[in-house]
Amino acid sequence: MAQQGIEERIAARQERVHVLTGAICNNNCVFCMEEDRDTRYQVNSQTSDESLAMILERAASTEEICFTSGEPTTNPRLAYWVNMAKRAGVPRISVMTNARALSHRPSLHRLIAAGMNRFYVSIHGHEEPLHRSLVRTPGAFEQTVSGIENIAREKRRGIELHTSTVITKRNLPHLAEIYRFLRDLGVDQVVFNVMQANGRADTNFERIFPRYTEIASKARTFFEEQGKLEREVSAFLVDIPLCTTEGIPDFNRGYVESYTHYEPPNEVTRSLGLGEDRMTGEGKHRLVVVKREDLDNAERVKRAECAECSYEPSCEGVWKNYLSRYGWDEMVPVRAAPTASPA
């Protein structure tokens, strides 16, 4: 049976709801999007039991609630909120985490008992020096690996384990090593995320951001070689213009999941033009409904030539901050039919 083409996969993405847990993080990643922690703290730390109840009521039919922003395990209400989502009947409850706190097995068991059933773990290297150079925190690698090992032990209970590796100039040469290291630890899906050129990724751009064509070239080689060893490579390259990734199997490329989150009215929501028609709740729990495309549309662009590309309907555009450094030369419209997925 043929796999879905890239356009079908993107169109079929299910939207998840993100719950902001705060801006505190016990890592110090060189590419963190939340560079202005003080400002984001005022926004991300407004989630309360009452506002979460409102979000859960509004998102009653959602397939997934994901706790994110900062490092969720630093929030003492996390397990209680997970249980609120479980009691609301949400089938998939997840967290984006560096898993350092989950190296303490009772902390992991507390979240699982509350209802957590999927973990997205951020890890950016297969060896301690590489990971530490990117998260800039001694001891983080050992704790994250231990957290992954602990989660993997719980897979027999139906727990899902995914990882997220942000691609930089430093770890790009090691895609195969990172993939094999993580799969050997028991990871179900290894996601290679191309950086969003915002926050610290913009500040440190010249030091850490590879060109899209360089990323795509390394990824093609990785998928070709790994495909000789596995019938289906459980790795995914996401958030990179599709025109640059021709030759990579459709199954293994795309964009990050579509999502919605809720935050108090602030300068960012106002700059996005999100007004009364995007408000929900009452009083101090009045929140703005923010969709991923609201943020992307403000920071990504297409040019006239993009209209000629076969991928244009599915493409999310190119980050303005990327274009200001590298320009459009890499993005060549694909005028022929997109490469067919392998059977």
Q: What pLDDT, in 10s, does the model give residues 232-285?
A: 999 999 999 999 999 999 999 988 778 899 888 888 888 889 988 898 888 777
Q: How far is CA 160 from the centre of its chain?
A: 16
Residue 207 tokens read as 């030091």
**Both structure tokens of 40:** 């984001």
User: What is the helix (H) or strand (E) element at residue 273, kind and residue range?
Assistant: none
Could you report the per-residue pLDDT of 97-132, keeping only the tens digit for each?
Answer: 999 999 999 999 999 999 999 999 999 999 999 999
Burial of 74: CB neighbours in 10 Å, binned 0-12, 13-18, 19+: middle
The residue among 109, 120, 122 whose CA lies nearest residue 64 is 120
Is 19:65 a contact under the CB 8 Å cutoff?
A: yes
Distance (Å, whole) CA 28 – CA 11: 35
How many domains does the structure of the chain reveal? 1
What is the rounded average pLDDT of the residues 6-20? Answer: 79
Name the pLDDT band for 38 (thresholds 50, 70, 90): low
Q: What number is the average pLDDT over the span 144-164?
A: 98
232 within domain boundaries: yes
The answer to whether residue 331 sits within a structural domain is no
Q: Please give the residue range of the domain that contains residue 176.
A: 6-326
> Please, what is the Cα angle at 83 between 82 and 87, to 5 degrees?
125
Alpha helix segments (H runs only) across the chain: 6-11, 37-44, 49-58, 78-87, 105-114, 128-135, 140-153, 175-185, 200-203, 205-208, 212-227, 267-271, 292-299, 320-326
pLDDT of 15 > 70? The answer is: yes
Has residue 335 been placed in a domain? no
Among 137, 222, 209, 134, smallest CA distance to 175 is for 222
Answer yes or no: is 342 within a domain.
no
Q: What's 185's domain CATH number? A: 3.20.20.70
Using CA atoms, how far apart are residues 96 and 162, in angstroms rounded to an integer?
Answer: 10
The mean of the pLDDT values for the chain is 91
Angle at which helices 105-114 and 140-153 cross, to 10°:
50
Has residue 13 been placed in a domain? yes
- Residue 295: inside a domain: yes
- Pairwise CA distance, residues 192 & 31, whole Å: 14
DSSP 60: T
The amino acid that residue 323 corresponds to is L
Residue 1 belongs to a domain = no
Helices (H) and strands (E) counted in the chain, each on its own, are 14, 13
Q: Which amino acid is at 158?
A: G
Q: Is residue 274 part of a domain?
A: yes
CB 275 within 8 A of CB 246: no
pLDDT in tens, 55-100: 999 888 899 999 998 899 999 999 999 999 999 999 999 999 999 9
For the chain, give percent helix, strand, coil, nearest 5.
Answer: 45, 15, 40
